Amino acid sequence: MNRKYLLSFLLLLLVLAAFRPAAPGPVQLQRLRCELLTNPEGIDAPEPRLSWELSGPERGLTQTAYQVLVASNPEKLAADEGDLWNSGKVASAQSVHVTYAGAPLKTRVRCYWKVKTWTNQGETAWSAPARWSMGLLNYLDWKGRWIGLDRAFPWDKEESHARLSARYFRKEFMADKPIKQATASIIGLGLYELYLNGQRVGDQVLAPGPTDYTQNVKYNTFDVTALLKPGVNAVGTVLGNGRFYAMRQNYKPYKIKTFGYPKLLMQLDVTYADGTREVIKTDDSWQATADGPIRTNNEYDGEEYDATKEMKGWSTAGFDAKSWLKAEPGAGAGRRLRGPDEREHEGDGNAETRGHHPRKIRRLHPGHGPEPGRLAAPARHRQAGRQNHLALCRNAAKNR
């Protein structure tokens, strides 16, 4: 009898084991962000806020504690040395906007960080490392001067519906030692595109974001180490009008505010392998022209592009710029210069994603285009054409 009960008991254990759920996988840490941005450059918050997400196979996952390490280089972080901040184990469920509370952060400091947590489903491993860099925290950290071309040219017109061509700026400089780090900070008002040695920097479009330019302006920061080379380098910038130079300022002056001709402030901080530093900054040594392919541009009427005016290699070293003008230093804009913040977190900015090649192009009959008043996305067009023929691209915004 006892043997019969024993066999039944063993059989029951086997049945229960067959229906036992598999052991859950480890809890994972993901999407580490600083000021809601992934690995941002140029943060100007003196005490940045850090966030992360937890994921696990079981429901009801709850964080009970965390530990954050912030180091001044990747090697110290890999050795679990938080020389900038070691939070220690903090009993808290907070995983969004955890305020940095370590050593004071200075201009251009690069920070590397990771986090681990304790949860109701066990302790996690350290997360993959993340990083952020500090921007130019004080106006005096900007070494350059505002430059521009403060006038209209013969092909421009400043009437009720103004036409103002884009401004092009360039400068060549020598890097005669191995480069360890290079960081570019730029304010291009109203809109800009930045190039280094002929390569476009970043994927942003319509940058920087519009503000009341009398109060503050926004700058962008880029790690451009990989774009520099030993020897002679060249930096180039195109300035569009955006909302800085209002294209209809004389059309409805009571409604449309204008701030002046487009302006540029930029600096490139270069750190060499031997520890020495150099700053390439905007000043009157830059060259400038308004006689490029973008003949007019604004958010109401789009852009006119004359391909016969293209300047091949204008943002590369060795370009013949004898006909270019000298950049003109002038007054700037804004009481405060601001870096990126949470209002520009992923998904809210304007970025160029990828190009599309049309399968067919045909002329639309009147009345078959985009509905007036609807918002049209910016687009780049490259079209084969005949010499002395102009391609005109205009958005679908209704004239108001």
Mean pLDDT of 331-342: 69
Q: Residue 374: what pLDDT?
A: 40
Cα dihedral sign for 86, 90, 96, 97?
negative
**Cβ-contact 133, 223 below 8 angstroms:** yes
Q: What is the pTM assigned to this prediction?
A: 0.80
**Per-residue confidence band for 214, with pLDDT thresholds at 50, 70 and 90:** confident
CA distance 312 to 238: 14
pLDDT higher than threshold 60 for residue 31: yes
Q: Quick check: helix, strand or coil at residue 112?
A: strand
Average pLDDT, the chain: 85
Domain spanning 28-133 has what CATH number?
A: 2.60.40.10
Of 105-119, 297-311, 367-381, which gets the smallest average pLDDT? 367-381
pLDDT higher than threshold 50 for residue 272: yes
CA distance 358 to 140: 49
pLDDT tens for each residue of 60-80: 999 999 999 999 999 999 999
**Cβ-contact 195, 323 below 8 angstroms:** no
pLDDT higher than threshold 60 for residue 345: no
In the chain, domain spans? 28-133, 139-344
**Per-residue confidence band for 210, with pLDDT thresholds at 50, 70 and 90:** confident
Q: Residue 366: what pLDDT?
A: 60
Task: Kindly tell me the number of DSSP H helices and DSSP E strands found in the chain.
Answer: 2, 25
Helix, strand, coil tally for the chain in percent (to 5): 10, 35, 60
Mean pLDDT of 123-147: 95
pLDDT higher than threshold 60 for residue 40: yes
pLDDT higher than threshold 70 for residue 378: no
Q: Quick check: helix, strand or coil at residue 305?
A: strand
Mean pLDDT of 37-41: 96
* Matching CATH number, 139-344, of 2.40.50.140, 2.60.40.10, 3.40.640.10, 2.60.120.260: 2.60.120.260
Mean pLDDT of 199-210: 92
Residue position matching structure tokens 């002056």: 253
Cα dihedral sign for 225, 274, 106, 29?
positive
Query: What's the token pair of residue 290?
Result: 């308004």
pLDDT higher than threshold 70 for residue 394: no
Q: Residue 299: what pLDDT?
A: 81
**Per-residue confidence band for 350, with pLDDT thresholds at 50, 70 and 90:** low
Q: Residue 363: what pLDDT?
A: 63
Q: Which long-range contacts (C-beta less than 8 Å, at least 24 apart) are formed by 199-204?
A: 199/227, 201/227, 203/351, 203/352, 203/353, 204/349, 204/350, 204/351, 204/352
Q: Residue 215: what pLDDT?
A: 87
Mean pLDDT of 375-385: 47
Mean pLDDT of 287-313: 94
Q: Residue 218: what pLDDT?
A: 92
Burial label, 288 (beta-carbon count in 10 A; 0-12, 13-18, 19+): buried
Measure the CA dihedral 320/323/328/333, to 10°.
Answer: -70
CA distance 280 to 107: 17
CA distance 241 to 299: 9
Q: Residue 175: what pLDDT?
A: 95
**Per-residue confidence band for 358, with pLDDT thresholds at 50, 70 and 90:** low
**Cβ-contact 344, 351 below 8 angstroms:** no
Query: What's the token pair of residue 390?
Result: 């102009």
CA distance 104 to 91: 24
Of 4-18, 127-141, 338-352, which gets the smallest average pLDDT? 338-352
